[in-house]
Structures are given as C-alpha cells and as structure tokens.
Amino acid sequence: MAKSDSNRGKRPGQGSKKGNSQKPYKRQATSNPRLKQAPVKKSNPDEIRLNRYIANAGICSRREADTYIAAGNVSVNGKVITEMGFKVKRSDDVRFDGKRLNPEKKEYILLNKPKNFITTTSDEKGRRTVMELISSATKSRLLPVGRLDRNTTGLLLFTNDGDLTKKLTHPTHGVRKIYHVHLDKSLSLADLHQIEAGLELEDGSIEVDSISFIQGAPKREIGVEIHSGRNRIVRRIFEHLGYEVTKLDRVIFAGLTKKDLPRGHWRHLTEQEVINLKMIK
C-alpha cells in the first residue's frame, strides 16, 4: 500500500513526525556585513586621458586621437603609447609625430569691439581694455590677435593658439581685413586712384588690396581692404592726403564677419570657422 504524503506542500521542518532530522529553513543572507566593500578609486585631478590631452592641444577630435594612439603616433615621456584610456599628467612630455604638445585647450573668441577700449591686457593709466569685455567668456588666458585703435570699432579675435596668432598677424599670409571708413569730407576720385596705386608714407610705401566707394552711401564713406598690420595704417593713409577719419570699423577679419554680433558682444568661433582659419596659407 502506498504511503500517504501528509507533509506535501509543507516547508522542511514543518513535518508532523516527532524527531524530524531536517533543519529548519533559513533564508540566505543577501550580503555579508563582515565583508568590506572595495573603496571607490578617486580620479586624480592632475591626470587626464591621453585622447583628451591631444584634443585640447588642437590636433584633432578625441575619437580621431584614439586612432592615432592605436597607430603609434603618440609618445609620453619618450615611450610610444598605444593603450586606450591611458592617462597623463599635464607636466608629462607628450608628443605627436615627434612634436611636443601643449595640453591647454585652444579657445577662439570673436569680439565686436566698441569705442574707448584699448587693445592691451592691462593699462597703467587705468584706461578700459578689451580684456574687460571678454572677462566672462573663459577662464583661460587669451590674447588679442593684432590691435585695433582705441577709437576703432569692429572685429577683434582672441585666442591662446600661438601658432594661429603668428599666422594671422604675419603679412606674408595676406589675411583679409576690410574696413568701413568714414571721412570728414568726400573723397575725390583722384585721391581714390592715388591710394589704389600706392602711397609713400614716413615709414615706407603702402598699398591697399582694394578701395572703393560704398554703394548707396555718401562719397565720404569708403570700403578699404588691406593686409598690412602697421600701426594706425588706415588712418594714416587718409591723413597723408588731408582727410580726417571720423569713424573706422573693421567689418571683416580673416573671413569672419560681424553678422549677428552686436557691438560690445562676443561669441566663440564655430568648429568650421576654426578649420577655415587654420587652412589659411
């Protein structure tokens, strides 16, 4: 005869027979309080990933940097590094194709300069400088590219990219600069042609790239394109012929324009604008 299963459905330890040898059921602990959790490793603020270091140096994007690292183009303190996620200190000697990199992130800020600000980082006479106008833009130390007179308005670029600054300020690269000039009287056609042909100033000859009257404006408003960076050069060209420049505004600089940038305001350059500047030969 089959034995009846009177304990069916009961948990171990709930049987009716006396002396049941099964141990009472105990729920397994989900954690052991005696086991210490491994401490969370804090990141070192003095270290950054190698791909970010390369990107900050203006070589390429982080994703592209990973490709160059894997290909063996990057060395740290004399040793080629191909490891992804490798971290470096800012004091390390990091080289890309043998050239040492600067880890400071490159920044580019365009200002539409108003009057009564001088283009310098500081002034012992207490005059207002262009640095005040971009003080909220970044914590990095940026420098103006070239100069604008105190009373000259218009486009002024700031950056910490030394190589680009040298390129944009050297006359051999022919960086395009266009000024809207206001004179105290109408410019004669003869004087316009004379400027166009070139003038001999006290510090040497000077030629403009182009000069023209502005369509629909009085003859005392002139458009001048020039690549020279000599001090007060646009003003001195007209003063040489007996004109006074009452207003001078730089409207184009190296392909950058004042579009959607009100006077006294600044903006960061777009990635494409930076690429265009670096392509200038």
How many helices (H) and strands (E) would you count in the chain?
6, 17
Which residues contact residue 173 at a Cβ distance below 8 angstroms, ignoring those fewer than 6 apart?
Answer: 167, 280, 281
Catalytic residues: 149
Tell which residue, 182, 177, 176, 178, has the closest CA to residue 222.
Answer: 182
Q: How far apart are CA 118 and CA 127, in angstroms?
A: 7
Strand pairing class (210-213; 143-144): unpaired
End-to-end CA distance of the chain: 104
Q: How far apart are CA 20 and CA 34, in angstroms?
A: 33
